């Protein structure tokens, strides 16, 4: 129990204190996860919408794969990305292993199925709702996709936030491809794992609480932004 | 839509700028959890980095994984603690030359109530045989690390096939030194640990040192430059500069100066 109460004190002190190391680690966590989610959104929204709207060979299999891969084990993704980026691997010449870019790639692979599968569901529902209207406007397939993504943007935010939650919280993938290098690739989750292994349990839990506050802040900010721009229904 | 495209372009641009950070003069060192968890690198690396301008990036994993990373050319320098593996690494042409850096020793740690009655023994193999006979819980790293390899050597010396009891009194955690100490602390288990990590470990609970001083518990660390003839991108000059500093009087002094609670954790022994 002592460690738990001490952790709250430490988390509070860390947030007040904002020492340089903590800011660096928090900053890298946010940068890596934002960029990973950004890339996953770029690829995942059109992919999900395409799966929802178009008929093409292998569509059902692709849909099933996306849904199943929402639960990809991070450590497996980390291992695959390591084998790709290792100097002995096919992409070794890029020299990306143990850099934030490798961590972004790994997290992007984790987030992509979540964004794509959830947006497929959202777009499919909207498509049923607006089908007649779109038909009467004689919208082409491309136009239909863009229109439905735009109309569903507020619901799609939830899918994006789910992806962000996955990215910011995972440790298995970034540990392997980032290497948890101090002042280089150490993020919140790998720092928590390191402090736990040093036996600094209160500090580790304190960092965990800071991470939760961080995730909460991002979610609140996104939801506040949504409410600010969403046309009121009154 | 236009603002959206600008945002997307920004994402891609920002992603592209990341690899640029790696342009600084730096090396990657594959090393063990014991050197990282004990806090040694945190203490000595700033001294080297200030003197040389070379940034040292430590990837701390078990000795087995560290050697695998170095074989694949994913590290410039290997710094581990299992001499037979290190000599094989050099012998197979993956490394240039092994340099002795420092040593400490392993200790057999156990719960205060000492159910196997091994406290004060100086023969590690006898102690393990007693633990097996008492079926007292033993937490093994089980991760092919240097400490794990040493533990397996000691079981062989004790003529006990501990893995036959895996899942019963013999618990393989498959984790790093710190994580395994956390497990032992919670279970009240015996565990083999390097002294450096043990001294620095903050969650000892009622664990204490039971057995120490056996010559077989000697724990030497060696550093090896990964062979640039195998991997052309290896930063040979910078990597060798780091090894040269470790074995120099300044590096050896920095290692000797690192203390926790007034106790020295590693003893320099460069030739």
Q: Report chain A (234 residues): mean pLDDT per 10 consecutive residues.
A: 80 80 93 97 97 94 96 96 95 94 98 98 95 90 93 94 96 96 94 91 91 95 90 58
Q: Is A95 in Cβ contact with B19 (below 8 Å)?
A: yes
The CATH number of the domain covering residues in A2-229: 1.10.3720.10
The CATH number of the domain covering residues in B25-104+220-268: 3.40.190.10
Mean pLDDT of B56-66: 93
CA torsion sign, A217 to A220 to A223 to A229?
A: negative
H/E stretch holding A54: none
Using CB atoms, which residue from B178, B185, B233 is nearest to A197? B178
Q: Is B60 in Cβ contact with A180 (below 8 Å)?
A: yes
CA–CA separation, B15 vs A41, rounded Å?
14
Judged by DSSP in three states, A43 sits in: helix
Integer CA distances (angstroms), B34 to A40, B79, B161, in order: 37, 11, 26
Integer CA distances (angstroms), B231 to A20, B74, B123, in order: 36, 9, 44
Listed by start position, the domains of chain A span 2-229
Rounded to two decimals, what is the model's pTM?
Answer: 0.87
Q: Is B203 in Cβ contact with A201 (below 8 Å)?
A: yes
For the segment B105-153, what is each residue's pLDDT rounded down to a tens digit?
999 999 999 999 999 999 999 999 999 999 999 999 999 899 999 999 9
Q: Classify each residue of A136-171 as buried b or exposed e, where b means 16 or more C-beta atoms within 10 Å of its C-beta.
A: eeebeeeebbebbbeebbeebbebbbbbbbbbbebb
Q: Is B8 in Cβ contact with A42 (below 8 Å)?
A: yes
Residues whose CB is less than 8 angstroms from the CB of residue A56 and which lie 6 or more positions away in sequence, other chains included: none
Structure tokens at B3: 């603002």
Contact residues on chain B for A100, CB-CB shorter than 8 A: 18, 21
For the segment B232-247, what is each residue's pLDDT rounded down to a tens digit?
999 999 999 999 999 9
pLDDT surpassing 70 at residue B182: yes
The pLDDT mean for chain B works out to: 91
For the segment A142-192, what is each residue's pLDDT rounded down to a tens digit?
999 999 999 999 999 999 999 999 999 999 999 999 999 999 999 999 999
CB B35 within 8 A of CB B242: no
Tally of CB atoms within 10 A around A197: 24
Three-state SS string over chain B comes to: CHHHHHHHHHHHHHHHHHHHHHHCCEEEEEEEHHHHHCCHHHHHHHHHHHHHCCEEEEEEECHHHHHHHHHCCCCCEEEECCHHHHHHHHHCCCEEEEEEEEEEEEEEEEECCCCCCCCCCCCHHHHHHHHHHHCCCEEECCCCCHHHHHHHHHHHHHCCCHHHHECCCEEECCCCHHHHHHHHHHHCCEEEEEHHHHHHCCCCCCEEEEECCCHHHEEEEEEEEECCCCCCCCCHHHHHHHHHHHHCHHHHHHHHHCEECCEECCEECCC
Q: Is B57 in Cβ contact with A98 (below 8 Å)?
A: yes
For residue B22, the model assigns a pLDDT of 45
CA–CA separation, B39 vs B42, rounded Å?
5
**Interchain CB contacts (distance < 8 Å): A and B:** 95
pLDDT surpassing 60 at residue B84: yes
Q: How far is the alpha carbon of A234 from chain B, nearest alpha carbon, in Å?
A: 26
What are residue B227's DSSP bridge partners?
Answer: none
B271 or B111, higher pLDDT: B111
Domain B105-217: which CATH class? alpha beta
For the segment B2-59, what is each residue's pLDDT rounded down to a tens digit?
555 555 555 554 555 454 444 579 999 999 988 888 899 999 999 999 999 999 999 9
- A225 in contact with chain B, both atoms CB, cutoff 8 A: no
Residue of B nearest to A201 (CA): B203
Residue to mutate among A4, A90, A179, with most B CBs inside 10 A, is A179
- A197 in contact with chain B, both atoms CB, cutoff 8 A: yes
**Burial of B269 (C-beta count, 10 Å sphere; 0-12/13-18/19+):** middle
Q: Is B233 in Cβ contact with A197 (below 8 Å)?
A: no
CB B123 within 8 A of CB B214: yes
For residue B3, the model assigns a pLDDT of 55
- A198 in contact with chain B, both atoms CB, cutoff 8 A: yes
* Equal CATH topology for B25-104+220-268 and B105-217: yes
Using CB atoms, which residue from B11, B55, B201 is nearest to A35? B11
Residues whose CB is less than 8 angstroms from the CB of residue A127 and which lie 6 or more positions away in sequence, other chains included: A52, A53, A134, A144, A148
């Amino acid at each position: 129990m002592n460690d738990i109460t001490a952790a709250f004190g430490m988390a509070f002190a860390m947030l007040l204190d904002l020492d340089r190391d903590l800011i660096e680690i928090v900053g890298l966590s946010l940068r890596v996860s934002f960029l990973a989610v950004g890339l996953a959104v770029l690829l995942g929204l059109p992919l999900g919408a395409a799966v929802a709207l178009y008929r093409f060979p292998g569509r059902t299999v692709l849909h099933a794969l996306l849904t199943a891969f929402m639960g990809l084990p991070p450590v497996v993704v980390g291992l695959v990305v390591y084998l790709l980026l290792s100097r002995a691997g096919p992409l070794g010449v890029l020299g990306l292993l143990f850099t934030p870019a490798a961590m972004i790639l790994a997290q992007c692979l984790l987030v992509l199925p979540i964004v794509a599968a959830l947006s497929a569901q959202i777009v499919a529902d909207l498509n049923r709702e607006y089908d007649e209207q779109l038909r009467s406007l004689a919208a082409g397939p491309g136009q239909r996709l863009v229109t439905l993504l735009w109309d569903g943007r507020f619901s799609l935010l939830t899918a994006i936030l789910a992806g962000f939650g996955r990215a910011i919280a995972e440790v298995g993938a970034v540990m392997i491809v980032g290497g948890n290098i101090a002042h280089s690739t150490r993020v919140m989750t790998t720092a928590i794992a390191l402090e736990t292994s040093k036996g600094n349990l209160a500090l580790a839990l304190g960092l965990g609480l800071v991470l939760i506050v961080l995730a909460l802040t991002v979610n609140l900010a996104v939801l506040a932004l949504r409410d600010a721009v969403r046309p009121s229904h009154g | 839509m236009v603002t959206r495209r600008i945002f997307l372009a920004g994402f891609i641009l920002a992603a592209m700028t990341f690899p640029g950070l790696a342009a600084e003069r730096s090396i990657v060192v594959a090393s063990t959890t014991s050197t990282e968890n004990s806090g040694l690198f945190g203490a000595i690396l700033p001294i080297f980095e200030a003197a040389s301008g070379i940034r040292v990036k430590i990837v701390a994993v078990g000795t087995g994984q560290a050697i695998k990373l170095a074989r694949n050319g994913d590290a410039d320098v290997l710094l581990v603690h299992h001499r037979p593996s290190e000599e094989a690494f050099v012998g197979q042409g993956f490394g240039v030359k092994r340099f002795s850096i420092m040593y400490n020793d392993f200790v057999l740690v156990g719960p205060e109530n000492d159910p196997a009655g091994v406290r004060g023994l100086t023969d590690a193999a006898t102690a393990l045989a007693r633990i097996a006979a008492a079926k007292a819980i033993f937490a093994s790293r089980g991760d092919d690390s240097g400490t794990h390899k040493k533990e397996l050597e000691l079981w062989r010396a004790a003529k006990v096939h501990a893995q036959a009891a895996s899942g019963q009194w013999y618990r393989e955690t498959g984790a790093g030194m710190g994580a395994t100490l956390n497990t032992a602390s919670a279970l009240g288990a015996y565990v083999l640990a390097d002294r450096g990590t043990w001294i620095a470990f903050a969650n000892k609970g009622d664990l204490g040192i039971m057995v120490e001083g056996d010559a077989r518990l000697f724990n030497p660390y060696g550093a090896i430059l990964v062979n640039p003839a195998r991997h052309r991108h290896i930063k040979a000059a910078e990597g060798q500069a780091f090894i040269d500093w470790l074995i120099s009087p300044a590096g050896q002094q920095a290692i000797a100066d690192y203390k926790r609670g007034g106790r020295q954790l590693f003893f320099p022994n460069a030739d």
